[in-house]
């Protein structure tokens, strides 16, 4: 019984991550089509603003938190769409499904299958 619940939870999480990753990737594509010169943080802020339906200032905060969470530690590197997507998706999942010690452990794998590391 326990293994079935664990499997069911993982399937629900993967479905959530897959759906959210595809939505973020679609926003990325539509924003790049609308403004091909938009790149990096300004692009990620626009995506976060639209995906989360938040203000530009709130989107800047989200992107900055994503940078601090994934692009500074363990070594500093450029922020990527994957980083922003992972930050948004994990936090959104926790907010909508409650905090669980195992939530998000395999989110990165699913996100990486959908969002290329070059974005």
Q: pLDDT tens digits for 28-79?
A: 999 999 999 999 999 999 999 999 999 999 999 999 999 998 888 778 999 9
Confirm whether 42 is domain-assigned: yes
Name residues whose C-beta falls within 8 Å of residue 82's C-beta, 6 or more positions apart in sequence. Answer: 70, 111, 112, 115, 117, 119
Alpha-carbon dihedral sign for residues 44, 83, 79, 116: negative
Confirm whether 8 is domain-assigned: yes
What does the pLDDT read at residue 1?
43
Counting the structural domains of the chain, the total is 1
Confirm whether 105 is domain-assigned: yes
pLDDT-derived band at 116, boundaries 50, 70, 90:
confident
Domain that holds residue 8: 2-114
What does the pLDDT read at residue 3?
53
Confirm whether 6 is domain-assigned: yes
Q: Packing angle between helix 2-34 and helix 107-114, nearest 10 degrees?
A: 40
What does the pLDDT read at residue 2?
46
Confirm whether 119 is domain-assigned: no
Highest mean pLDDT among 5-14, 49-58, 107-116: 49-58
pTM: 0.85
For 90-104, the pLDDT digits (tens) are 999 888 877 665 556
């Amino acid at each position: 019984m326990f293994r079935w619940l664990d499997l069911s939870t993982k399937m629900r999480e993967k479905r959530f991550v897959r759906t959210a990753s595809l939505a973020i990737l679609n926003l990325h594509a539509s924003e790049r089509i609308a403004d091909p010169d938009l790149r990096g943080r300004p692009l990620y802020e626009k995506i976060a603003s639209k995906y989360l339906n938040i203000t530009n200032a709130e989107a800047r905060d989200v992107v900055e938190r994503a940078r601090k969470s994934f692009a500074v530690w363990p070594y500093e590197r450029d922020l990527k769409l994957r980083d922003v997507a992972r930050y948004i998706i994990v936090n959104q999942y926790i907010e909508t499904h409650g905090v669980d010690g195992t939530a998000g452990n395999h989110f990165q794998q699913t996100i990486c299958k959908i969002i290329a590391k070059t974005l």
